[in-house]
Each structure stands twice: as structure tokens, then as C-alpha cells.
Chains A and B, each alone.
Chain A
């Protein structure tokens, strides 16, 4: 997928001006996934849930500490059970591996369940180019495929769209009378998808987890499409990141408890599919051939570094559901596969710091993400580390660095500071005039007054007032 993250500001401005998007986001913010999570945590018991978060973080840390060992174990166990395990260094390499598999097995049509990695790899376009028709079968992904848009949320990819927009899209794409009843619309989508499920010869899934001890992949879905994608076609490819490996099935159980509650507030998703090797003699279903494609795509660069905690991520989306910035501009503003706080860390880490300069700064550091993250990723701290890297690599604008250094230089010289603030207090008071409100500031201050007044100060600093009071 083309990286557009360098245009965050422009895209955010566009999102703010898009009234339909704003209405959809407002609905998501007040009656969305964050509320469902809160109810689920209350039902589970907040303290018990905190313990579960700790357990989840420990499992992920244990796996990451010996990632190579667990990947090797996974490869052995999966291979022993008849699956092929392939490794790709980049999204592009992963894409080429899928294309090879298509050619080898004479694939004509692929059905897909949700996979963010296939977005990293730009897989759909590549499949189309060799004449393999990819059909997204997750309802949200299906909608955005019809609309020819990228996902705007990692688990609710079409959350930026209203029911009416989807109704228009379905009427146009399905050539059937426009419906606005959600149950009927869903039924229509199922009817449109059903023939694809039956006729596809390749199923492409993502993988929420890879279980080392059994060589299994696991996906969670609510629509059952994941089950069909991984069992119906004669070839199944599971494409996912190398960091998704966990040691045991027991660990999977713990992480599932966390994942679905954090994502959608469900105690468990409607379907949990654990797939282990291709169909064996006597099995009623399952693919004849099964491949795992494990993609690095920049992940090993994070291992052992100060961003390693990010690799714990289990892709629940809770951070964006609770992010004031995401809830205001939506996912497309972030300009690549992963939006919200996790995307603001992953995008610069995977596509380059210089290609996503705004993202680490596009956060208020309110830490609403950090307190809901099921695996305790300290997202604000990681964003801050990326900001430090930008400074170290001289990637920040000169004016910004000059301003910061000047502030710090003056703040280290108390007498000069006292003088400067005394004058600033007076000037600001004058600027405030009779209303006591400053409506327009120059330079960097313009960013403030574009949307707000600045309440003017009273004209004297605390320092001066306090000293005078002590003297009297």
C-alpha cells in the first residue's frame, strides 16, 4: 500500500471538513467499541482484567525474548503436520510468494478473510494484475473493496462509512433495489459472497496468532467467513507477521480472553478458527495444501531496541477506539495500513521515520491508549521515543528546534527569564485589549489561534506579584 503518511496534516484537514465522515466518527465515539469494551471489563471485573493484561503482556514478552526459537519451533511443528512455512523479508516478497503459489496451483479466484498484512503487501492489486480475482469476505472489508478504499480501522475497516453510504454502494454494485435495513443489507452481501465461497480455489487469511507448540494458526472472526476461507478452497495461505508467534495453546486461551474483550467487548468472538496443517485422510474438510507466509517487514528491526514493546501488539484496535485524535480525524488521515496510536508507532518504524514525520506528534499523549492496551504497550512513551529519534536525526523543522532550544536556554537563566516573562505578560495583556482575549497570534502562535482565543494574562507575573506581597 502506498504510504501517504507524510500528508497527515492535509488529510486531517480534509477529514475535519468532511461532514459525513464527522457524523460517522461522532457516532463511533459515543456508541462505539470503547463503550462495549468498558462494559466487558466491568463484567469481567476490573481488577481481574488488570491481572489478565499483565499475563498477556508477559506472554508476549516471553515470545519476543526468544522469538527465533519460537519461530523455529513453529516451523518444525507446522511442517511436521504437512503445512509449508515460507518466510518473506518484506511485504513485496510476501506478495511474490502468494503470486508463485497462485501460479503453481493454477488459481483463478481467491477469497480473503481479514488480513492487515496483505494491505502492507498490496496483495489485492497484485492478484488482480495476474488475473486472480480477490474477494474480500469480511463484511467491512467487502464494503471498502467495493468502494475501492483502504481500511480506516484495523478491526472495523468500514467504520468511516454510514449505513446510507453502504446502501448506495450495494445498490450500485449488486444491481438490486436499494435497501436500508441493516439485516437485509447483510443478507444481500451474504448472497453476493456465497458463490465466491463455493467457487474460489484459494483462501487467504491473516493470522491473529501462531502457536509454536502445535504449528497452528488462529484467527478470530464474527461472521464465520474466516472459517470458510480457511477450510473451503483447495489451497489456504495464512499470511501474517513473524511477531505473532506465541508459545502454547494455553497462551492462546489467555490472549483470546484479552483480545475480544478489548476489541469488541465480547467474551469471545463468534468464531475462533485454529488451523493446523492441510486436510488429513479421513478429515471432512480442509484445504489440500496449506501455506504459512511469515513476514518480517521491518519487525526484526524492533527486536532488542527501545520500540520492542510495540511488537506485543495483538491488533485489537482499543488504542484507536480511545484516541481523541483518531476519533476526530478517522483512520485514513494516518495514510498507511495502521491508524491511531499503534499506527503512529508502527508506520514510522516500518516505512521510515522520514516518511511519517507528523505521526508521532499527532497525539496529545493523553495515555488513554496506554491504559486500555491489553498487553500494556506504553504507547505515549514509544511516541516520545520516536520524537527523540527525529530530533537526533535532525528531521524536525529548524524553526521548531530553534524555538525549543531558545526556550530551554532562557529557562536556564532565571534573571533573563524573569525579565522576558515580565515583558511577555505585559505584551499579552495589551494584545488582549478590553475583552482580555487574544484572537490572533503570529508565528507558531497562529496554530493556537486558528481555533481558539488565548485568554490574556493579568499583566504581572506570579514572580513579581509574590515578591511584592512578601515585601509589603
Chain B
């Protein structure tokens, strides 16, 4: 099974350990992992800002880079959602390209979804001594139906206890460029999420999307919480939480 890893631009720049953890997990699941070296961004910033032209150019680039893979796996619900749910919209009326992006989309998975639904990973390498709570990121949850998959995998992590927070499906207030354009509103929405996380008394909040991660961690730290850890689900599953 040749699996192309789409690392995502935020993982590449902000938290490369997540990419390495994803490689480890895919290899543990018996996959041959390909990381196309020319990959950059899925086009989501342009797409969500109304700049279709930019988004389309990057979508074509992703298509060319990953089309030869059996599967495309992404450690981010929103980038996987971009490829699966939104690429077809960018190629309306272009029959050949539309068909190609649709086929790419049907082989594209968010990481935990892939590990559970396709690779059927049973033995998880990570261990974690402590309690975690899981934040469901909007795109993963509502575009891709990622809900039980990360929980099933976390349940297999030795030493880990999952304690659900209230309103785990509520948006954290990130919203891409929203967080920059409406920084104060975004931070106020994040406050509510931070309060729920703290109320769960978990040692760490675990999630599957970099945007939410930077937002929640940034707000927790600004509020003076230096203790609650903010971890990507891949890091926890792979045991790369240092």
C-alpha cells in the first residue's frame, strides 16, 4: 500500500514532530510511505478567502504530486476536507480534471480515519501517563465524520485515560484567516474552549488539526496556563510527546 503523506504547510513549519509521528504510525500500520518533496499547501487559505484562482493552482499541484499514490493521508481534518470536499468545486465544468480530483478525493483520508478504517492499525506504539481530553475539530468532524476514530486509537494507548470535556464539538474560534482578521472575537471564542478544557482537569488536550492547536495553545498560554499540554493525536499515538 503506497501511502502519500500530505504533511500540510502548518505541520511543516510549526510542528514538524507531527509529520514524523505520522510517518511512524503509517509505517507501523505496514504502509509504504511516500512524502512528495515538492508539496507545499493545499490551497485552503486562498479558497476560504475567496481567491479561487490561487486555490485552483495549488489544487492542481497537489493532484499532480499525489495522483500516483494508492492513498493520500493528511494529519489535519481541514486540509483533508479541502481535498475531499472542496477540490471538486474548483473544477466545475472541467470534466477530465473534475474526474481526477474526485478520484483523488475518494482516496484521501484524515490520519486517524485512515489508520482505523483502511489500515486497521491495532497496536499503537505510543504510551502516555495521564488524562487527556479530545477536541473535535470542525472540518474533521463535520466534513469527514472523524469522531470515533481518534478515540478508538487513543483507547489503545497504554496508560492513557480519556476524559471528555463539555462541548467537545464546539468550534475553538480559529477559522483560518478569521483568527487574524477578528483576533479579539476569535480569542473570546477560544476562551470558552479553554474553560472547558480546564474544567475537564485533563493533563493534555489532544486534537487533530494544527490551526485549532496553535489557537488553543496560544490562548491557554496567554491566559497563564503553562501546564495543560496541547498535543496532536499523531504525537500521542506515536509516543512523540516530548
Contacts and interface: CB of A to CB of B under 8 A. Distances in A.
A466 B35 contact: yes
B178 A391 contact: no
A461 B16 contact: yes
A366 B142 contact: yes
A445 B14 CA distance: 15
A447 B179 contact: yes
B222 A453 contact: yes
A366 B183 contact: no
A454 B175 contact: no
- The interface size bin for chain A is 35 or more
Contacts of B66: none
Interface of B is mostly: helix
Nearest to B182: A362
A361 interface: yes
B180 A444 contact: yes
Interface stretch (A143-151, A272-280, A381-389): A381-389
Given A366-B138, A452-B218, A452-B219, A407 B175 contact: no
A367 B142 contact: yes
Interface string B174-191: 111111111111111110
Contacts of B214: 454-455
A329 interface: yes
Contacts of B16: 457-458, 460-462, 465-466
A448 B186 CA distance: 9
A457 B48 contact: no
Given A412-B61, A421-B12, A384 B47 contact: yes
A437 B185 contact: no
Contacts of A449: 183
A51 B18 CA distance: 40
Interface residues of B, number: 66
Given A437-B221, A461-B12, A9 B182 contact: yes
Given A364-B174, A408-B57, A457-B14, A452 B190 contact: yes
Contact of B19 (A412, A428, A462): A462
Nearest to B230: A455
B52 interface: yes
B51 A404 contact: yes
A390 interface: yes
A396 B46 CA distance: 13
B176 A365 contact: yes
Interface in A39-55: none
A103 interface: no
Given A404-B51, A410-B40, A412-B40, 15 more contacts: A329-B188, A365-B138, A366-B138, A384-B48, A387-B50, A408-B57, A411-B40, A417-B40, A448-B179, A451-B186, A452-B218, A453-B218, A458-B17, A463-B37, A466-B16
13 contacts: A324-B192, A361-B178, A367-B139, A367-B143, A368-B170, A384-B47, A401-B51, A412-B57, A414-B40, A447-B181, A447-B183, A453-B219, A466-B16
